[in-house]
Structure 1
Amino acid sequence: MKLGSPPSKGSGNGTSPLERAYTDAVDQVGEGDDIRARILDAAVEQFGALGVRRSTMDDVARRANVSRITVYRRFATKDALVEQVIVREYRRWFDRFLVDIRHARTAADRVVLGFVSSLRAIRENPIIGGLLAAEPDMLLGSMIGDQGHTVAMVRRFVADQLRREQRAGHVAREVDVDLVAELMVRISASYLALPSQVIDLDDDEQVAALARHFLVPMLEPPRDSGADAPATGR
């Protein structure tokens, strides 16, 4: 298998919230009915105020000004409601990412801006960022316990952006965009999951400098294309 090429699909049939968010963003799926959207809005407010574990379906129903039965008709369980809230928040992150990088003039600037805006947007999100800060086991458990679906989906999203840069002539054809995307995503995830004592993630200039010094060079073709590539998947 070529280094950085996506692995073949395994036996895992489940999809992560992030996979569904990505698919919805690409397909431009709408919010659904108004009541469903109102319930999701109420859930965001409720979870932001009290956290997921302390909140009940009754709390969400009261905030949405609908009956408890109405909530359960659209979300069979609290877990289903939480998952759909996370799906929608991730989808909004995908959409926001694409809007943010439009302001950048070069591929390097888009990598830097994308890295900075992604870390900031996720950490400041009242649901995703709140879960990372207050209930990390709930969110991180879904990320690392899903056979790699979540990381693979973000990698696919980033790799798609890098392929566009290649087609436009902004990134060399020799660059393995799948491998580069994999590294970028895992670096980003590590900073989100484990607070840094070296980089102040609240300082956009520090985060941008990190991206420019260590992520942007990944866009350059390998210096020694004839060197043996390390084996993967063994």
Structure 2
Amino acid sequence: MTAASPTSTNTPETDDSAAVRILDAALIQFERVGVKKTTIEDIARQAGVDRATVYRRVGSRDDVVTAVFSREVAQVLADLRSLPGKHDTLDDLVADVLVTIVGRWRAHPLVQRLLILEPDRVMPHLTTDSAPTVAMTILTTEALLREAVTAGLLPEPPDLLARAEVLCRVVHSMILAPTGLLPLRTDAELDAFAREYLVPIITR
């Protein structure tokens, strides 16, 4: 990937667009060399802005890491919102959600790089500092299930939010501890697991 183009002097850049450029640049740098070897100067150069703009629009390097990670999670959740309209059964929907989440996690170059080389950078986002991400995930899952209710795929239970949270906690544990005694490496294995064990969490 090449560096982001410097801002044109003829087209003033908004604060929001500057922040997007900075996060895009940071993602490129983090995937390329990791967080430890990336400086604010590297991010600024890649984004075509000065260091002061990075600090003003996003913050320190740790703030940039948090913002990049949160944006990547939000993008996955946004992709999940398109799934309810693609399925005629709850089983198919739940299986697709699990395969999508785990597949995106396993394939994401930044996540995989940090897990292997700099686990201290990503693990707090999944554990001690995970409250905002977990809350966003639970609410997104509840919204997906409500769409399933509206589509007639599921009778609405009185504790839909609680069921969404249990579902998310199971998937969260699968992400934190990807290996166990059950074979869950392939899409087919994840699909079968979702149908057998996750769907009942919602329906029973």
Q: TM-score range by the shorter chain?
A: 0.7 to 0.9
Work out whether residues 184 and 215 of structure 1, in 8 Å CA contact, stay in contact via their aligned partners in 2: yes
Q: Which has the higher helix share?
A: 2
Q: Which residue of 2 aligns with 1:54?
A: 37
Equivalent position of 1:118 in the other structure: 101
Residues in 1 aligned to 2:179 and 2:48: alpha-carbon distance in whole angstroms:
41
In structure 1, runs of 5+ residues without a counterpart are 1-30, 222-234
- CA–CA separation in structure 2 for the residues paired with 1:52 and 1:44: 9
Gaps of 5+ in 2: 1-13
AA at the equivalent of 2:65: V
**Distance in 2 of aligned mates of 1:39 and 1:195:** 31
- Equivalences for residues 4-15 of structure 1 within 5 A: none
Q: Residues 175 and 108 from structure 1, CA distance in 2 versus in 1: closer, same or farther, beyond 3 angstroms?
A: farther
Query: 3-state SS of the aligned residue for 2:82?
Result: helix
The structure-2 alpha-carbon separation of the partners of 1:32 and 1:160, relative to structure 1 and needing over 3 Å to count, comes to farther
What is aligned with 1:143? 126
Let me know the Cα RMSD of the aligned residues.
2.4
Aligned partner of 1:214 in structure 2 is: 197
RCO higher in structure (CA 8 A, sep ≥6): 1
Are 2:31 and 2:110, in contact at CA under 8 Å, matched by a contact in 1? yes
Return the TM-score normalized by structure 2. 0.81
| TM-score normalized by the length of structure 1 | 0.71
Bigger shift: residues 108-117 or 150-159: 150-159
User: C-alpha deviations, 1:175-217, integer Å up to 9, x for none?
Assistant: 6322321221111111111121444554111111111111112
**% identical aligned pairs:** 32
Q: What secondary structure sits across from 2:97 in the alignment?
A: helix
Task: Indicate the SS of the match to 2:109.
Answer: coil
**Superposition pairs of residues 26-37 of structure 1, within 5 angstroms:** 33-37=16-20
**What is the alpha-carbon distance in structure 1 between the residues aligned to residue 199 and residue 91 of structure 2?**
6
